[in-house]
Amino acid sequence: THKPLPVAMFMAMSLMWMADTLRANERGEASGSDVRRAVASVIAMLIPASLLGYGDEGPRYITTYLLAIGVFVACWAKRAAFEKSNKAMRALGWLGDWSYGIYLMHGTLQILIAEPLKEQTGNVWLTTLVTLPTLLFVSWMVYRFIEAPMIRIGKQLTKRIAG
Protein backbone atom coordinates (compact mmCIF):
# COMPACT_ATOMS: atom_id res chain seq x y z
CA THR A 1 0.00 0.00 0.00
CA HIS A 2 1.42 3.34 -1.04
CA LYS A 3 1.34 6.20 1.45
CA PRO A 4 1.90 9.40 -0.54
CA LEU A 5 4.22 12.01 0.90
CA PRO A 6 3.13 15.67 0.94
CA VAL A 7 5.35 17.04 -1.83
CA ALA A 8 3.09 19.62 -3.52
CA MET A 9 4.36 22.57 -1.47
CA PHE A 10 7.97 21.47 -1.99
CA MET A 11 7.36 21.24 -5.74
CA ALA A 12 5.70 24.67 -5.86
CA MET A 13 8.52 26.30 -3.89
CA SER A 14 11.14 24.64 -6.12
CA LEU A 15 9.44 25.94 -9.25
CA MET A 16 9.22 29.44 -7.75
CA TRP A 17 12.93 29.30 -6.90
CA MET A 18 13.71 28.29 -10.49
CA ALA A 19 11.59 31.14 -11.89
CA ASP A 20 13.17 33.62 -9.46
CA THR A 21 16.62 32.53 -10.66
CA LEU A 22 15.54 33.22 -14.24
CA ARG A 23 14.34 36.69 -13.23
CA ALA A 24 17.56 37.31 -11.28
CA ASN A 25 19.50 36.43 -14.43
CA GLU A 26 17.46 39.00 -16.35
CA ARG A 27 18.42 41.65 -13.77
CA GLY A 28 22.09 40.64 -13.95
CA GLU A 29 22.04 39.15 -10.44
CA ALA A 30 22.49 35.50 -11.49
CA SER A 31 24.72 33.92 -14.12
CA GLY A 32 23.76 31.56 -16.93
CA SER A 33 25.29 28.71 -14.95
CA ASP A 34 23.04 29.64 -12.00
CA VAL A 35 20.04 29.33 -14.32
CA ARG A 36 21.20 25.97 -15.69
CA ARG A 37 21.86 24.73 -12.15
CA ALA A 38 18.38 25.83 -10.99
CA VAL A 39 16.60 24.17 -13.93
CA ALA A 40 18.66 20.98 -13.61
CA SER A 41 18.09 20.85 -9.84
CA VAL A 42 14.33 21.18 -10.20
CA ILE A 43 14.24 18.49 -12.89
CA ALA A 44 16.51 16.19 -10.83
CA MET A 45 14.34 16.43 -7.71
CA LEU A 46 11.13 16.23 -9.73
CA ILE A 47 11.42 12.51 -10.48
CA PRO A 48 11.91 11.13 -6.95
CA ALA A 49 9.50 13.68 -5.44
CA SER A 50 6.77 12.78 -7.94
CA LEU A 51 7.25 9.05 -7.47
CA LEU A 52 7.27 9.35 -3.67
CA GLY A 53 4.43 11.85 -3.54
CA TYR A 54 2.09 10.53 -6.20
CA GLY A 55 2.83 6.80 -6.37
CA ASP A 56 1.35 5.18 -9.48
CA GLU A 57 0.38 8.63 -10.78
CA GLY A 58 4.03 9.77 -10.49
CA PRO A 59 4.92 9.27 -14.18
CA ARG A 60 1.93 11.41 -15.20
CA TYR A 61 3.07 14.19 -12.87
CA ILE A 62 6.67 13.89 -14.08
CA THR A 63 5.54 14.23 -17.70
CA THR A 64 3.30 17.19 -16.91
CA TYR A 65 5.93 19.03 -14.88
CA LEU A 66 8.64 18.41 -17.50
CA LEU A 67 6.38 19.71 -20.25
CA ALA A 68 5.46 22.79 -18.20
CA ILE A 69 9.08 23.50 -17.28
CA GLY A 70 10.12 23.06 -20.93
CA VAL A 71 7.47 25.46 -22.19
CA PHE A 72 8.26 27.98 -19.44
CA VAL A 73 12.03 27.93 -20.08
CA ALA A 74 11.55 28.05 -23.87
CA CYS A 75 9.22 31.05 -23.57
CA TRP A 76 11.64 32.74 -21.20
CA ALA A 77 14.54 32.13 -23.61
CA LYS A 78 12.53 33.55 -26.54
CA ARG A 79 10.89 36.39 -24.61
CA ALA A 80 12.44 39.11 -26.80
CA ALA A 81 10.85 37.56 -29.90
CA PHE A 82 7.50 37.33 -28.10
CA GLU A 83 7.72 40.98 -27.08
CA LYS A 84 8.28 42.01 -30.72
CA SER A 85 5.33 39.99 -32.02
CA ASN A 86 1.88 41.54 -31.70
CA LYS A 87 0.20 38.17 -32.32
CA ALA A 88 2.25 36.43 -29.64
CA MET A 89 1.64 39.22 -27.14
CA ARG A 90 -2.11 39.13 -27.82
CA ALA A 91 -2.14 35.34 -27.36
CA LEU A 92 -0.13 35.59 -24.16
CA GLY A 93 -2.38 38.41 -22.95
CA TRP A 94 -5.44 36.28 -23.67
CA LEU A 95 -3.92 33.38 -21.77
CA GLY A 96 -3.08 35.72 -18.89
CA ASP A 97 -6.64 37.06 -18.81
CA TRP A 98 -8.11 33.58 -18.70
CA SER A 99 -5.50 31.95 -16.44
CA TYR A 100 -7.34 32.64 -13.19
CA GLY A 101 -10.53 31.07 -14.59
CA ILE A 102 -8.49 28.09 -15.78
CA TYR A 103 -6.99 27.77 -12.30
CA LEU A 104 -10.39 28.05 -10.63
CA MET A 105 -12.35 25.75 -12.93
CA HIS A 106 -9.95 22.97 -13.97
CA GLY A 107 -10.58 20.82 -10.90
CA THR A 108 -14.34 21.15 -11.11
CA LEU A 109 -14.40 20.27 -14.81
CA GLN A 110 -12.08 17.35 -14.18
CA ILE A 111 -14.60 15.95 -11.69
CA LEU A 112 -17.72 16.80 -13.71
CA ILE A 113 -16.54 16.03 -17.25
CA ALA A 114 -13.07 14.50 -17.59
CA GLU A 115 -13.22 11.68 -15.06
CA PRO A 116 -16.70 10.41 -16.04
CA LEU A 117 -15.90 10.66 -19.76
CA LYS A 118 -12.56 8.86 -19.39
CA GLU A 119 -14.21 6.17 -17.28
CA GLN A 120 -17.00 5.75 -19.84
CA THR A 121 -14.86 5.76 -23.00
CA GLY A 122 -11.40 4.82 -21.76
CA ASN A 123 -10.08 7.31 -24.33
CA VAL A 124 -7.73 9.96 -22.93
CA TRP A 125 -7.56 11.86 -26.24
CA LEU A 126 -11.34 12.13 -26.55
CA THR A 127 -11.52 13.22 -22.93
CA THR A 128 -8.94 15.95 -23.59
CA LEU A 129 -10.65 16.98 -26.83
CA VAL A 130 -13.93 17.51 -24.96
CA THR A 131 -12.60 18.88 -21.67
CA LEU A 132 -10.00 21.39 -22.88
CA PRO A 133 -12.33 23.49 -25.09
CA THR A 134 -14.95 23.37 -22.35
CA LEU A 135 -12.37 24.61 -19.83
CA LEU A 136 -11.32 27.44 -22.14
CA PHE A 137 -14.94 28.46 -22.74
CA VAL A 138 -15.83 28.40 -19.04
CA SER A 139 -12.63 30.32 -18.22
CA TRP A 140 -13.54 32.95 -20.80
CA MET A 141 -16.99 33.25 -19.19
CA VAL A 142 -15.42 33.67 -15.73
CA TYR A 143 -13.15 36.40 -17.08
CA ARG A 144 -15.77 38.15 -19.19
CA PHE A 145 -18.67 38.15 -16.75
CA ILE A 146 -17.00 38.09 -13.31
CA GLU A 147 -13.34 39.02 -13.31
CA ALA A 148 -13.28 41.90 -15.87
CA PRO A 149 -16.33 43.67 -14.37
CA MET A 150 -14.85 43.36 -10.87
CA ILE A 151 -11.55 44.80 -12.10
CA ARG A 152 -13.44 47.76 -13.61
CA ILE A 153 -15.36 48.31 -10.37
CA GLY A 154 -12.12 48.10 -8.37
CA LYS A 155 -10.47 50.73 -10.59
CA GLN A 156 -13.50 53.02 -10.28
CA LEU A 157 -13.48 52.68 -6.49
CA THR A 158 -9.74 53.32 -6.35
CA LYS A 159 -10.12 56.49 -8.43
CA ARG A 160 -13.00 57.67 -6.27
CA ILE A 161 -11.06 57.05 -3.04
CA ALA A 162 -7.91 58.67 -4.44
CA GLY A 163 -9.94 61.77 -5.25
Tell me what pLDDT residue 1 has: 46
Single-letter residue type at 26 = E
What's the rounded mean pLDDT across residues 16-33? 94
| 5: Cα separation from own chain's centroid | 22
- CA of 48: how far to CAs of 22, 33, 38, in Å? 24, 23, 17
Q: What is the pLDDT of residues 46-99, one digit of tens each?
A: 999 988 888 888 888 899 889 989 988 888 888 888 778 888 778 878 888 999
Q: What is the pTM of this model?
A: 0.59
- CA of 119: how far to CAs of 61, 64, 96, 113, 115, in Å? 20, 21, 32, 10, 6
Q: What is the pLDDT of residues 81-91, one digit of tens each?
A: 877 888 877 88
